[in-house]
Structure 1
Amino acid sequence: MFWNRKKKLPITEEDRIWINEDLNWLRTEFGEEHIQEIRTITPTKEFYERTFDGTEKDAEFILKRTMELMRIENCEIKLDFFTDGIIESENGGILTTPADINGKWESASGTYEVKENETIISIETQQLKDPISLIATISHELSHQILLGENRIEENDEFLTDLTAITYGFGIFIGNSRFKFSQFSTNGGFGWQSSNQGYLPEQIIAYSMAWLSKERNEKTDYSKFMKQSVKKYFEQSFEYLEKEKIE
């Protein structure tokens, strides 16, 4: 009967297995008590009490606040900035751009680096225009500090790094920033850019959030802040996990 059909996941069984393994590893690494204390962060004044104006001070505020939310203490992190976008001349012409022949480009949103006992997070300046993406980027880079900086892993793992940020409650920001499309035009040219921020696809981000919400018995009213595609995958995953629990 149709009412007995098993709920389908938006991810493969192979992906489900490794995600569960990684999330359980993080739970063991951080401790059950700490994991249960974490709640999903929403793009509201409750978590980020600030009127953003697109300046570097926004990034400084977000870095400090996100470190508090992720409980990163006794660590000094330097914030730096770089530009990897369009550079225009005074008359509006394009001087340089990383765009390819089709007019699109992908650039790094941020980087994490440790050198000479100094920890540096660098932010691409275009991020300053979008607080959601900026928070997603900084939470990801701070997850490098939690994993690599605190010697929890020996080699960089970007998938695990994204999962760490999601575990600390930043799934909405990472999911909503997953794919960006925008156009630009100047007196001297035009084009478009697309970027894939982060490393995990929307389906895996959504499933991971549903898994964590179930494990924490967390209300899912935060789903109203998700963009539509992520919300759809989240609801599918949550229904699957609910059904699995009942059976």
Structure 2
Amino acid sequence: MLSTLFGARSFLDRDIEAWHFDVWATLIERYGDNVAVADTALALPTRQYFPPTDATGHAKAEHVFDCVKTIMGVADWPCRLEPQGHRRTGQQVSEFVHISGDEAPNGTFRVEPSGDVVISYAPELLDDPTGLVATFAHELAHYLLASEADLVEDETHELMTDLTVAFVGLGVFGANSCFSFEQHGDAFGQGWRSRSSGYLSPRSWAFALAVFCELRGDEGEVGKYLKPEIEGLRRQAVKYLRRNPTLLQGLRAAA
């Protein structure tokens, strides 16, 4: 009865949801000839997509970077990868308590005056494979969008870049790394550490993954590799989309 009076409840805020669909339509229009959603693989943290390596340090980062470039279909695009300096670890707020959060970006993308494309990453991410892949995917998504002036200049460009990560099949990594919060402590003190990656909220990531899998027509083993809280939201989003099939009609036709 209430849904009849006030309209069906949307999974996201209606304006945000409309933005999601608009961006998907734009990505399909601009890149659909080369990156058809129905044929895009859902990349997972497995040997199929990320073969093991004995490399360490920057060489290991380059190996992962090459894997991400291959998944995104830009393996032959010229790009230099470089590590950033080490970041500050946090702030002490009392004798025994520290609160730590990110104070620098996990990665950056830039085009130098010479035309060289450079992507940087935080070396600490070598201990966080999911975050490393998500960072490389986000920065390479900047590279993918760089030739589209209107998209680059859009005020939602960073959010659009995250959604592009889902569009090219790497949404599992973006979703799993979007936010984490943990407590740590020992005999000498205690503290809390928060870490975020990317710009979309967990709920928006779940929705993006749901849209991707529905357009692809196959969700594969996505649920097996998502954090439980993200997978719970994704399942809700899938139910919502299937209860409202007209929402994806336009995208299905375009894809």
Supply the distance in 2 between the matched residues of 1:115 and 1:28 (Cα, whole angstroms).
Answer: 29
Give the one of 101, 125, 136 matched to 1:105. 101
Which piece of structure 1 moves more, 219-228 or 48-57? Answer: 48-57
Structure 2 partner of 1:89: none
CA contact 1:39–1:218 (8 Å) conserved in 2: no
CA RMSD of aligned residues (A): 3.0
Q: CA deviation at 1:55?
A: 2.1
Spell out, residue by residue over 1:58-112, the C-alpha distance to the aligned partner (whole angstroms, 9 max, x if none).
21011112111111154211111113435xxxxxxxxxx4537452221311111
Q: CA deviation at 1:180?
A: 2.5
* Letter of the structure 1 residue corresponding to residue 105 of structure 2: A
1:199 maps onto 2:199 in alignment: yes
Distance 1:171 1:52, change over 3 A: farther
Which piece of structure 1 moves more, 133-142 or 63-72? Answer: 63-72
Supply the distance in 2 between the matched residues of 1:149 and 1:54 (Cα, whole angstroms).
Answer: 33
TM-score relative to the length of structure 2: 0.81
Supply the distance in 1 between the matched residues of 2:68 and 2:29 (Cα, whole angstroms).
Answer: 22
1:29 maps onto 2:30 in alignment: yes
Distance 1:52 1:129, change over 3 A: farther
Structure 1 segment 5-154 matched on structure 2, within 5 A: 9-31=10-32, 34-35=35-36, 36-51=38-53, 55-86=57-88, 97-99=89-91, 101=93, 103-106=99-102, 107-116=104-113, 117-149=115-147, 153-154=151-152
Supply the distance in 2 between the matched residues of 1:52 and 1:243 (Cα, whole angstroms).
Answer: 47
CA contact 2:108–2:121 (8 Å) conserved in 1: yes
CA contact 1:146–1:152 (8 Å) conserved in 2: no
CA contact 2:180–2:196 (8 Å) conserved in 1: yes
Segments of structure 1 that go 5 or more residues without pairing to the other structure are 87-96
CA contact 1:136–1:173 (8 Å) conserved in 2: yes
Supply the distance in 2 between the matched residues of 1:217 and 1:235 (Cα, whole angstroms).
Answer: 15
Matched residues, percent identical? 25
Structure 2 partner of 1:216: 216
TM-score relative to the length of structure 1: 0.83
Q: CA deviation at 1:182?
A: 4.4
Distance 1:213 1:32, change over 3 A: farther
Structure 1 partner of 2:239: 239
Spell out, residue by residue over 1:17-60, the C-alpha distance to the aligned partner (whole angstroms, 9 max, x if none).
11011011101111256322212111111110114775222210
What is the aligned length?
235
CA contact 2:207–2:234 (8 Å) conserved in 1: yes
CA contact 1:10–1:233 (8 Å) conserved in 2: no
Which piece of structure 1 moves more, 188-197 or 41-50? Answer: 188-197
